Amino acid sequence: MKLTINHRTHYTYAQQVKRSTQYLRLTPQDSSHQHILAWSLSLPEEATETSDAYGNVLHVLTLDRPHQAITIEAQGVVEIQDDTEDSEQGHLSPLVFLRHSPLTQPDLSIREFAGRFCAPQAQYLGLCDMMNELLHRMPYRPGTTSVTDSAANAFTAGQGVCQDHTHVFLACCRSLNIPARYVSGYLYSEDSEHVATHAWAEAWLDERWHSFDVTNNTCRPNQHLKLAIGIDYLDACPVRGIRLGGGSEAMHTVAAVASMGDNTQSQWQS
């Protein structure tokens, strides 16, 4: 399947920002699962390209002049291989992804929930069952959480979005001593209430990474395009920045994922 991606993020500020730095994880990489046919970023200034600690492509955009708005755009064409997981293991030991973070720290309720699916002789099936039950316990409800909500808060609330589902799933896996990592990217769907920008988890089992998309209750990443990985959202989010001045901030984002050859697309805007 060939997908076209158009992702635009626009920031406006109540006052002039003296200077700012944006950390952009908006560039996917080739793998056995995805082949990048074309990709480009449109930025207000030239950015420095490097790699972060997890091996993600990282662009650092620094604006030293006063500004009151920033527009960041990513566009590309990617071919997704059906029923093919990413075979790249990365340069880090999977044991790194046993580490909890403030966003994925399990509380007693999460540990007790995860314990129900402890299956040393059938770990993959146990995690599939856990994914299914987690979605049942935490239905998809846009607008009920924010990026600052932890796994424990979302689990207690019993609802959330893909970011919350992923954080809780990671907390469960790590409490079971199974390495698991956060994945950010895009999702194509012909007819879905879920957004085009997406998050899911990967768990280390049988010497390789397996995908678990709790929000869509699937382990088949046939319509998923991976951007970045990390311990949690903060490590892998597409755009994250710091600034000096500016007062209050407003962000408007539009992301569209379309399949080449038809007229359908997944779109999200905020």
**In this structure, are 26 and 114 located in the same domain?**
no
Tell me, what amino acid is at 22? Answer: Q
**In this structure, are 105 and 220 located in the same domain?**
yes
**In this structure, are 99 and 229 located in the same domain?**
yes
Residue-level pLDDT, tens digit, the chain, 270 residues: 899 999 999 999 999 999 999 999 999 999 999 999 999 999 999 999 999 999 999 999 999 999 999 999 999 999 999 888 777 778 899 999 999 999 999 999 999 999 999 988 899 999 999 999 999 999 999 888 888 899 999 999 999 999 999 999 999 999 999 999 999 999 998 755 556 889 999 999 999 999 999 999 999 999 999 999 999 999 999 999 999 999 999 999 899 999 886 555 555 443
- Helix axes 162-175 and 123-137, enclosed angle (nearest 10): 140
- Which H or E element spans position 13? strand 2-24
Q: What are phi and psi of 7, to 5 degrees?
A: -135, 120
Within a domain: residue 118?
Answer: yes
**In this structure, are 124 and 138 located in the same domain?**
yes
**In this structure, are 118 and 183 located in the same domain?**
yes
Domain that holds residue 18: 2-81+237-269
Within a domain: residue 86?
Answer: no
**In this structure, are 262 and 241 located in the same domain?**
yes
**In this structure, are 168 and 232 located in the same domain?**
yes
Tell me, what amino acid is at 81? Answer: Q
CATH of the domain at 11: 2.60.40.2250
Q: What is the pLDDT of residue 269?
A: 40
Within a domain: residue 162?
Answer: yes
**In this structure, are 182 and 248 located in the same domain?**
no
pTM of the model: 0.92
**In this structure, are 48 and 156 located in the same domain?**
no
From the number of C-beta atoms within 10 Å of its C-beta (0-12, 13-18, 19+), residue 148 rates as exposed
21 closest CA partner among 51, 43, 53: 43
User: 173: which residues sit within 8 A by CB, 6+ positions away?
Assistant: 114, 127, 179, 180, 201, 203
Cβ neighbour number for residue 134 with a 10 Å cutoff: 22
CATH of the domain at 129: 3.10.620.30
**In this structure, are 62 and 136 located in the same domain?**
no
Tokens of 245: 């001045």
> How many domains does the structure of the chain reveal?
2
**In this structure, are 222 and 99 located in the same domain?**
yes
- Which H or E element spans position 236? helix 233-236
Within a domain: residue 88?
Answer: no
Q: What are phi and psi of 246, to 5 degrees?
A: 105, -20
Q: Report whether 165 contacts 236 (CB < 8 A).
A: no
The secondary structure of 116-127 as a DSSP string is TT--TT-HHHHH
Tell me, what amino acid is at 105? Answer: Q
**In this structure, are 178 and 191 located in the same domain?**
yes
